Structure 1
Amino acid sequence: MNVRPLGEKILIKRVEAEGKTAGGILLPDTAKEKPREGKIVALGDGRLLKSGERAKFQVAKGDRVLFSSYGGTEVKIDGEEYLLMSEDDILAVID
């Protein structure tokens, strides 16, 4: 895959949804909630500032992040599903 997001966009691969509840009940795919956690696959160049320079990202490629439920746009690349979103939609980095 050779995708480079533009501007302040970030490409994220969601982590797999948990297939079992805390009580041990197996969930079918239709009952699973989409995870709000993922791994950053690619970054754009950064937001363009009024000075003409690019702002640095607070996240880096490979970071595991939490993002808002309805943030981003779902895209399919080479049969894999990804999210393309702005840095503003990312809530936290998981260390």
Structure 2
Amino acid sequence: GGIIIPDTAKEKPQEGEVVAVGPGARDEQGRVTPLDVKAGDRVLFGKWSGTEVKIDGQDLLIMKESDLLGVVA
């Protein structure tokens, strides 16, 4: 037996534009690793990724780079 999941149940990725990025992520030794994405990149991310915030009346998402599915060329 197996589980069959119809296409309608699949999570569709969302697309957005990176507005700003931080200096990078810290590794176990405390060193900062630069991010691969930059402001202006178009990215794909999961529907439930990130944390929604409202800044200056604008709805934004804050998320880790590891939550991104890819960069759209």
On whether the aligned pair clears a TM of 0.5, the verdict is: yes
Name the counterpart of 1:63: 41
Match of 1:80 among 45, 53, 58: 58
Structure 1 runs (4+) deviating above 4 angstroms are: none
User: Which residue identity is paired with 2:51?
Assistant: T
Q: Distance in 2 between matches of 1:78 and 1:52?
A: 32
| Superposed CA offset, 1:32-62 (max 9, x none) | xxx7110001111211123332111111111
Query: Matches of 1:52 and 1:79 in 2, distance apart?
Result: 35
1:92 counterpart residue number: 70
3-state SS of the aligned residue for 1:41? Answer: coil
Which protein has greater RCO, CA pairs closer than 8 Å, 6+ apart? Answer: 1
Alignment pair present for 1:46 and 2:46:
no
Unaligned runs of 5+ in 1: 1-34
- The number of residues matched between the two structures is 61
Q: Percent identity?
A: 48
TM-score normalised according to structure 1 size: 0.59
3-state SS of the aligned residue for 2:20?
strand
